[in-house]
Amino acid sequence: MIITDFLERNARLYGRETALVEINPSEKRDNAATWWDFNLIESAGEDAPYRRELSWKDFDRRANRFANLLLSRGLKKGTKVAVLLMNCLEWLPIYFGILKAGCIAVPMNFRYASDEIKYCLELADVEVLVFGPEFISRMDAIEKDIPSVRTLFYVGGDGPAYTEDCLNLMSFCSSSAPPVAMEKTDDAVIYFSSGTTGFPKAILHNHQSLVHACLTEQNHHSQSRNDVFLCIPPLYHTGAKMHWFGSLLSASKAVLLRGVKPEWILRAVTEERCTIVWLLVPWAQDLLDAIDDGRVDLSKFRLDQWRLMHVGAQPVPPSLIRRWMKVFPHHQYDTNYGLSESIGPGCVHLGVENVRKVGAIGKPGYGWQTRIVDERGNDVAPGEVGELIVKGNGVMTCYYKNPEATAETLKDGWLFTGDMAKEDEEGFIYLVDRKKDVVISGGENIYPVQIEDFLRGHEKIKDVAVIGLPDARLGEITAAIIEIKEGESCTEEQINDFCRALPRYKRPKKIFFDKVPRNPTGKIEKPVLREKYCQGRLVEVQITG
């Protein structure tokens, strides 16, 4: 079985039922671009958000049309087709159309600058790019400098002169499934790493990986046809898409919400009767803060059907979940761990039945194996810190065109994650930190995540990041970048007093008050902070040493 088989099954059995809904609260209805003949349903009231929906039958038909458009241009099995779109109703049909044509889908980060877009297109050998109106200026800057990309499809009506109107061309193509034979071992997608050590690496997966993600997600969260999944994170990322795969497998509705304001999230849950919501840490924090300070009144929303809130994509502060459970005591809670190299979340998960273990990332996910090993690859004892490695059908095929990095990361079928972890006596895994983020100060290993979790317990702190700064004597010292809650004030002395509860060697040696930058998937952008706060100190160390 391949991933597109699930879509065709849903179209056949549940064709008239709603598959996808797009809600854009910031879009004015009278200016909304109706790119396809979707049913535009407006809620009552002048402030009703722009809303479109798509049935399973139309989802499948439009995927077929895009597949046939690609084939009409002479594309062969294995040709790379990139998608550079904001979350929208067109995204998933185009993605599945690429797969139905036997091509390799290459989702791209919508925050990429022009040079990053160019780099990724060249790295992945992309021949066709589909992009939307938000990216015109970035594409203008490079369109003459990407010779390998022979076709530029534009989604959104009249586009730049160097593009073709994708949706208009699709209207002339057959809506029947193209006759392309595929196997589960065929290459399917290229995702990109987060690029935390420079430009991103290209991660190649086959159809077996995608199917494994479906099975894992549905096994963990028990999606049924009665569930409604609220999807807010970007679809280019494995996290959002692989959680949506639970909706694909169960033939249930999903809602794409374009916006993260707390009131928008709660309104979408209310009006669409959402039962499952996946949040990133900052969004969950913002929602709780809005409730605490009275900006959001829960009595105005219908939330009784909301059964599961899960969080992932970065370490989850236990204090945040304890706050959440006080406000929403009837919710099931789960956290999921994964990487793009392991086809997204699910290789480790906590499980809704294990809320007592908040703070752990969980146990091996459905169909996965885990180990925690030392520098020589030997298993460490329970309670000791080592590198987490995972194995399963969702492990990547390779880093595309990068055999050296592949050999470093894949060993005997095991994926070395680069995450430091430990396991308790019950087999629950706790994430300690990224291997490259560990601070070595005076020969002592210091794990920033542990300090960050502690500092988030301060009532005035909204977010925090801990990094290492170069030091002539100790090698490195810890620095805490602290973002204070809106309307609050705090001093360095107050933070130092709070940190007296930590062992002396874990106390931050430097305190900076600043905004904590996070990427679209919620991960702290520590390279940005290192560049900002380390430059002066590097000079100082070089002079002193």
Residue ranges in 34-106 assigned as alpha helix (H)? 56-72, 91-100
Q: What percent of the chain has pLDDT over 70?
A: 90
Q: What is the DSSP string of 252-319?
A: -EEEEE----HHHHHHHHHHHT--EEEE-HHHHHHHHHHHHTTSS-GGGS--TT--EEEEESS---HH
Q: Supply the mean pLDDT for the chain.
A: 88
Domains of the chain: 3-257 (3.40.50.12780), 307-434 (2.30.38.10), 438-544 (3.30.300.30)
Q: Provide the pLDDT for residue 269.
A: 96
- Token reading at 67: 């597949």
Mean pLDDT of 114-143: 95
Distance CA 190, CA 397 (A): 10
Confidence of residue 49 (pLDDT cuts 50, 70, 90): low
Handedness of CA 69, 111, 264, 464 (dihedral sign): positive
pLDDT value at 443 more than 50: yes
* Dihedral sign from CA coordinates of 385, 388, 389, 393: positive
- Whether the predicted pLDDT of 540 surpasses 80: no
- What pLDDT shows up at residue 36? 38
Which among 310-319, 354-363, 440-449 has the top mean pLDDT?
354-363
Number of C-beta neighbours around residue 136 at 10 A? 16
**CA–centroid distance for 506 within its chain:** 30
Give the mean model confidence (pLDDT) for residues 190-210.
83
Q: What is the pLDDT, as a whole number, of residue 541?
A: 32
Question: Half-sphere exposure of residue 212, counting CA atoms within 13 Å on the CB side?
Answer: 25
pLDDT digits (tens, 9 = 90+) for 255-291: 999 988 999 999 999 999 999 999 887 788 889 989 9
Least confident of 196-200, 384-388, 477-481, 519-523: 196-200
User: Within a 13 Å sphere around the CA of 176, how many CA atoms are in the beta-carbon half?
Assistant: 4
DSSP 430-495: EEEEEGGG-EEETTEEE-HHHHHHHHTTSTTEEEEEEEEEEETTTEEEEEEEEEEPTT----HHHH
**What's the rounded mean pLDDT across residues 458-487?**
86
The mean per-residue pLDDT over the stretch 146-168 comes to 94
Q: How confident is the model at residue 543 (pLDDT cuts 50, 70, 90)?
A: very low
Which is more confident, 123 or 47? 123
Enter the tokens of residue 78. 């294995």
Does residue 542 register a pLDDT over 50? no
pLDDT of residue 537 exceeding 90, the answer is no
Residue type present at position 271: E
Per-residue pLDDT for 44 more than 80? Answer: no
* CA separation for the pair 104, 247 (Å, rounded): 22
Helix, strand or coil, per DSSP, at residue 246: helix
The pLDDT confidence band at residue 535, using thresholds 50, 70 and 90, is: low
Q: What is the pLDDT of residues 56-74, one digit of tens each?
A: 999 999 999 999 999 999 9
Please give the structure tokens belonging to residue 96: 């599945």
Of 332, 327, 212, 225, the C-alpha closest to 277 is: 332
pLDDT band at 106 (very low <50, low <70, confident <90, very high): very high
- HSE, CB side, 13 Å, CA atoms: give it for residue 507: 13
More confident residue, 431 or 414: 414
Model pLDDT, residue 456: 87
